[in-house]
């Protein structure tokens, strides 16, 4: 296929390499024309995953990337920019969305912003650095069209990257958004040195509130036992490369959220998603105490005080 990957961050870069290794013709579309030119000249991304060899992958400014004639458009852009990107997307090729979050403007799932073409969503425990190294990983493609999902599955699956198919787009997208918020809390536990017992309990209860939210919204419970649910949650909460976990850790050690994001140097989706997810929970009348707590800490509440409040909540059944 002729594929255009929109977004030249770490995930867009790693996924471009993965697609090119599968024999597809890949163009990496960058917002910054100067970076695209540097990538063409050096065969490397000068800012993200600088060790990845991009030989055979074209890099162009977004308006010169040939999106209108592509067979597939892959979106790997921040959730805050997603609505603007899809609003101006030329052509009619199917979209494969890699972005994990919610639209901060409307609170909607990102795939619902694409109304003029088929859309599929890829999610799972996919640390970009590891995939770029060729380490084994797996993901799930969620799509309402089974033929499109299977077509993409066959086009992407390799000996190092195994893809499953799921038709629960709602569940997969809500998992992808919520796990980043729970990872901020997990990082906070790391930063305070609360230990593995506390962190494991937090992650388990985080999965419970993710599941409550999505079930009320109409998702399938089994999605949360899969790659998009527990799989992605675990890697995001434990990986040293996890941006959201690292951000929570830095905040717990005294940084402001803005300072933490600046130190990390990449988009921390949980910071954008947390208030949007809380708003969704309020609209659906779903109790999400960890998400509420993360939002409180991002607003300036002491993380130590929050831990005490969570531990002292009224005991209940699991």
pLDDT digits (tens, 9 = 90+) for 43-85: 999 999 999 999 999 999 999 999 999 999 999 999 999 999 9
Average pLDDT rounded to a whole number, residues 296-317: 80
**Which pair of tokens denotes residue 4?**
């255009």
The residues assigned a catalytic role are 179
Query: Do the beta carbons of residue 99 and residue 121 sit within 8 Å?
Result: no
Average pLDDT rounded to a whole number, residues 94-120: 96
Q: What is the mean pLDDT of the chain?
A: 94
- In this prediction, residue 37 carries a pLDDT of 94
* Alpha-carbon 49 to chain mean position: 17
In the chain, where does the domain assigned CATH 3.40.50.720 lie?
2-167
- pTM equals 0.94
Query: Is the pLDDT confidence value at 308 over 80?
Result: no
Tally of CA atoms within 13 A in the half-sphere of 36 that contains its CB: 18
Q: Who's near 296: CB < 8 A, 6+ residues apart?
A: 306
pLDDT digits (tens, 9 = 90+) for 221-268: 899 999 999 999 999 999 999 999 999 999 999 999 999 999 999 999
Query: Do the beta carbons of residue 57 and residue 35 sit within 8 Å?
Result: no
The superfamily in CATH containing domain 2-167 is: NAD(P)-binding Rossmann-like Domain (3.40.50.720)
Query: Is the pLDDT confidence value at 307 over 80?
Result: no
Domain 170-311: give its CATH code: 1.10.1040.10
- Using DSSP, state whether 202 is helix, strand or coil: helix
Query: Is the pLDDT confidence value at 315 over 90?
Result: no
- In this prediction, residue 146 carries a pLDDT of 95
Query: Is the pLDDT confidence value at 295 over 90?
Result: yes
- In this prediction, residue 65 carries a pLDDT of 93
In the chain, where does the domain assigned CATH 1.10.1040.10 lie?
170-311
Query: Is the pLDDT confidence value at 164 over 90?
Result: yes
């Amino acid at each position: 296929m002729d594929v255009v990957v929109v977004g030249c961050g770490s995930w867009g870069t790693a996924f471009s390499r993965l697609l090119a290794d599968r024999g597809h013709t890949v163009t990496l579309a960058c917002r910054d024309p100067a970076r695209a030119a540097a990538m063409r000249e050096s065969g490397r991304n000068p800012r993200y995953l600088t060790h990845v060899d991009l030989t055979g992958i074209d890099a162009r400014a977004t308006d010169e990337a040939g999106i209108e004639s592509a067979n597939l458009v892959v979106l790997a852009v921040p959730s805050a920019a997603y609505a603007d990107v899809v609003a101006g997307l030329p052509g009619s090729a199917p979209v494969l969305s890699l972005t994990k979050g919610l639209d901060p403007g409307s609170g909607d799932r990102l795939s619902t912003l694409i109304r003029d073409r088929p859309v599929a969503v890829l999610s799972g425990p996919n640390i970009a650095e590891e995939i770029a190294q060729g380490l084994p990983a797996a993901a799930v493609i969620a799509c309402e069209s089974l033929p499109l999902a299977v077509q993409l599955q066959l086009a992407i699956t390799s000996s190092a990257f195994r893809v499953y198919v799921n038709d629960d787009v709602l569940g997969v997208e809500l998992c992808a958004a919520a796990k980043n918020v729970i990872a901020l809390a997990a990082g906070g536990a790391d930063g305070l040195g609360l230990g593995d017992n506390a962190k494991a309990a937090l992650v388990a209860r985080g999965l419970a509130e993710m599941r409550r939210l999505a079930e009320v919204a109409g998702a399938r419970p089994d999605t949360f036992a899969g790659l998009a649910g527990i799989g992605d949650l675990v890697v995001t909460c434990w990986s040293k490369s996890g941006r959201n976990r690292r951000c929570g850790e830095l905040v717990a050690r005294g940084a402001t959220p803005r300072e933490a994001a600046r130190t990390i140097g990449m988009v921390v989706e949980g910071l954008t998603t947390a208030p949007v997810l809380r708003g969704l929970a309020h609209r659906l009348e779903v109790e999400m105490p960890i998400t509420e707590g993360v939002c409180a800490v991002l607003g300036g509440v002491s993380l130590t005080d929050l831990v005490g409040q969570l531990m002292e909540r009224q005991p209940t059944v699991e």
